[in-house]
Structure 1
Amino acid sequence: MKKIVVFASGSGTNAENIIQYFKKNKIAKVVSVFTNNAAAKVIERAKNHQVPTEIFSKNELLDRNVLQKIQKIAPDLIVLAGFLLKFPDNIIEKYPNKIINIHPALLPNYGGKGMYGMHIHRAVVDNKEKETGISIHFVNEHYDEGAIIFQKSVALESTDTAETVAEKIHELEQKYFPEIISRLLEE
């Protein structure tokens, strides 16, 4: 069975969705959740599914500590699901084309440092965009610039708020992220 490691910084709804998806679709298993936030709800969600968690500091991510823990696991895929820190080069170099991220916009639009969550949704609404969506991409040394694996758009109404945009994006994430992970693992 293939092994997935998930990195998350916040509530963990995408992480939990991935865990549940692969409990049913047995081609892979989430074997660990890594977080940089000791107060993140993702920790509780992982524990509810008996998935071990690793809590680390930014310094531990940048030195070899986190890399060594990942290497012991030997994952087939590393999934960033709401992970807010820049992923370090030392891990990217060890796992080329084995680290993916989901971004709540249609890249290259609304990508880069500081562009996450409600910051993106507010910008989309402020700019009166007609559509937005999700992008799933490989992680490289630059924020949100890795090769795009998959995008899915959703139409926006003039009455949409940042909150309603967030709901539409969340629906896309929940539906497509596990499916794309599965497809990548089967290739």
Structure 2
Amino acid sequence: MKRIVIFASGSGTNAENLIKYFQSKDMVSVDLVLTNNPHAKVLDRCKRLKVSAFSFNKIALTETGDVLNLLKASKPDLIVLAGFLWKFPEAILNEFPNKVINVHPALLPKYGGKGMYGMHVHEAVVANKETETGITIHYVNEHYDEGAIIFQAKCDVRPSDSADDVAAKIHQLEMEHFPIVVEKLLSNNDLK
């Protein structure tokens, strides 16, 4: 059985999608969801879906090693960042080399880096009059949004599209592709 741990910061729609997708699979399970936001809606989703979830603070993530120790005990085959907004610590990346992935709401390397998440990305895409955007699933390294690209999916941006319109298109791409890419990574042992 392959084990996934998810990190999320907000509503948790990607986390819920992954959990539901893998609940019907025999070879993969989402064992744990961790969040840096004690009020995140992802906690309610996990409770409803009967998946263990915990919140933590920056000290537990970067100073005391509490989150790292929890991950070591969980022994995940893959750590999935699904809307997790903090920079991921090098100590965890070193302990789980090439086992941490992220979904980003743009076609990297465009619109990546610190502060480029969620609506900030979609607003920039619209402001710059891009004709296409999409999602990027990539490995996480010590720099924001610079890890090796695993997968990208594109969608058109129409001149009349608002940032909300773009957000809806990106959400659809995430719902469609993210679980499948995660499953392929685990089933093919394609982890770098």
TM range (shorter): over 0.9
SS at 1:146's partner residue?
coil
**Residue 83 of structure 1, CA deviation:** 0.1
Aligned ranges 1:5-154 → 2 under 5 Å: 5-63=5-63, 64-154=65-155
Q: Which residue of 2 aligns with 1:170?
A: 171
Q: Shift of residue 27 of structure 1?
A: 2.0
Q: Deviations over 1:33-82 (max 9, x none)?
A: 00000000000001111101121001110021100000000000000000
Helix, strand or coil for the counterpart of 1:151? strand
Structure 1 residue 24 displacement after superposition: 1.4
Distance 2:55 2:104 in 1: 23
TM-score normalised by structure 2 residue count? 0.96
Matched letter for residue 44 of structure 2 = E
One-letter amino acid matched to 2:58: K
Q: Which residue number in structure 1 is paired with residue 157 of structure 2?
A: 156
Instruction: Report deviation, 1:182.
Output: 0.0
What is the rounded CA distance, in whole Å, between the counterparts of 1:54 and 1:95 in structure 2?
20
Q: Distance in 1 between matches of 2:3 and 2:25?
A: 13
Q: CA deviation at 1:97?
A: 0.8
What are the superposed Cα offsets for residues 114-150 of structure 1, whole Å, 9 maximum, x if unpaired?
0000000000000000000000000000000000000
**Would you identify which runs of 4 or more consecutive aligned residues in structure 1 move more than 3 Å?**
none
TM-score (norm. length: structure 1): 0.99
Could you tell me how far apart the structure 2 residues matched to 1:54 and 1:122 are?
A: 31
- 2:89 partner amino acid: P
CA–CA distance in structure 1, aligned partners of residues 167 and 53 of structure 2: 27
Separation in 2, partners of 1:164, 1:27? 36
Gaps of 5+ in 1: none
- Cα distance in 1, alignment partners of residues 109 and 26 from structure 2: 33
Q: Any stretches of 5+ residues in structure 2 without a counterpart?
A: none
Determine the C-alpha separation between the residues in 1 that align with 2:137 and 2:144. Answer: 13
**Aligned-CA RMSD value:** 0.5
CA distance in structure 2 between the aligned counterparts of 1:134 and 1:86, rounded to whole angstroms: 19
1:25: Cα distance to partner? 2.4
The alignment-based identity, stated in percent, is: 58
Letter in 2 for 1:14: N
- Per the alignment, in what secondary structure is the counterpart of residue 153 of structure 2? strand
